Amino acid sequence: MIVFKAPQDKVLSVLQSIAGIVERRHTLPILANVLLRKTGNILQLTTSDLEVQIRTTADLGGDAAEDFATTIGARKLIEILRTFQPDQVVTLEAAQERFILKGGKSRFTLQSLPASDFPLVQESPNFGPAFSIPQAVLKHLLGQVSFAMAVQDIRYYLNGILFVAEGRTLSLVATDGHRLAFASATLDADVPKQEVILPRKTVLELQRLLRDARNDRGDDVAMIQFQFANNQAKLSFNGLEFVTKLVEGKFPDYNRVIPVGYRHSVTLGRQALQASLQRMTIMTSDKFKGVRLHFEPGLLRISSANAEQEEAQDELEIDYGGEKVESGFNVSYLLDVLSNMQQDMVTITFEDGSSSALLSTPDDANFKYVVMPMRI
């Protein structure tokens, strides 16, 4: 029986869309496989890591006479397919408990595991109302906040992004306890308030898969649909059905972290500030990434030093007439946000040397980035 018979680029594209969550090493060997379930000409492909499950369907030819299901190593299948030419027809044929992958004169015999052993994610029966947003908008929002997520923090609720849907607004928030990024966008319809935390792995996979598709008028055309339950989220886009567990726990009250009423504000060129900070990074160490920002009328002086008593200093002319303020910050946290901004100008709002700084952009009121000071 022929499972599929199609051009290499078509088969590879389908497999790559679902294989990103497949771990190279897992306690359950079958989770390294892709579940193939064939019904007529339609082939359903599913991958899972017990936390996230991705499913898609495709018409990849093959025999339509018999329905069947099996699992085959996902990454090995992809690695073999990559060795073939994009326009080359590849065939996967069932031969008892093994499968034969053919392309041109090449032939690979692959082992399989029973489909009945594949641990599918049990979907929640109580998903809330669905809402949609252009993929390009979500991709932009994720790019604005994802770098602020924690990485394997003991406070597990920080290892992801908070999604808050309320009314006609979708807000995304990420923090690692030292800095916080907030971004929001407008929805097409009113939705009841829902708050969930999508895990880090899900966020990174979304960033890989989301499309920035627009029509000839520049309108967003590729959409993504969300549905939330108490412990799961279901996302549908690009022919994929994406089910993921949510991070349990109480996310910090981000509204209390974002400062309001700070007296001092400076707007300057993002690239000039970024270049200056990159120069100052040279004199920091891996263990200590501190830089000093000295604000005074008409001037921003940035300085850094290291344990070898080496120093660096740079100056930028700014439109500022307030009092002198000196603050210390982790330069990596500043460079992270500047490198993920697309605007030409950045606004820094601050109060005194011991307060957090708020970074934003003059033309985007829906983005805010808060970075805590550090003692230098």
What pLDDT sits at residue 219?
53
- The dihedrals phi and psi of 270, each to the nearest 5 degrees, come to -65, -45
HSE (CB half, 13 Å, CA atoms) of 124?
16
Q: Domain 2-117: which topology?
A: DNA Polymerase III; Chain A, domain 2 (3.10.150)
Are the folds of 2-117 and 264-371 the same?
A: yes
How far is C-alpha 319 from the chain's CA centre? 36
Per-residue pLDDT tens over the stretch 356-370:
999 999 989 999 999
Which position has the token pair 């090449």?
106
Q: What is the mean pLDDT of residues 190-213?
A: 92
User: So what's the architecture of 264-371 in CATH?
Assistant: Roll (3.10)
Per-residue pLDDT tens over the stretch 156-179:
999 999 999 999 999 999 999 999
Residues 6 or more apart in contact with residue 28 via CB below 8 angstroms: 50, 119
Sketch the domain layout of the chain as residue ranges: 2-117, 129-256, 264-371
Look up the pTM and report it: 0.90
Residue 316 in 3-state DSSP? Answer: strand
Per-residue pLDDT tens over the stretch 78-134:
999 999 998 899 999 988 778 999 998 999 999 999 999 999 999 998 898 999 999
Q: Is the pLDDT of residue 218 over 60?
A: no
In the chain, pLDDT over 90 holds for what percent of residues? Answer: 80
What pLDDT sits at residue 187?
92
Confidence of residue 235 (pLDDT cuts 50, 70, 90): very high
Q: What is the DSSP string of 15-77?
A: HHHHGGG--SS-SSGGGGEEEEEEETTEEEEEEE-SSEEEEEEEE--S--S--EEEEEEHHHH
**Looking at the domain that runs over 129-256, which CATH code has it been given?**
3.10.150.10
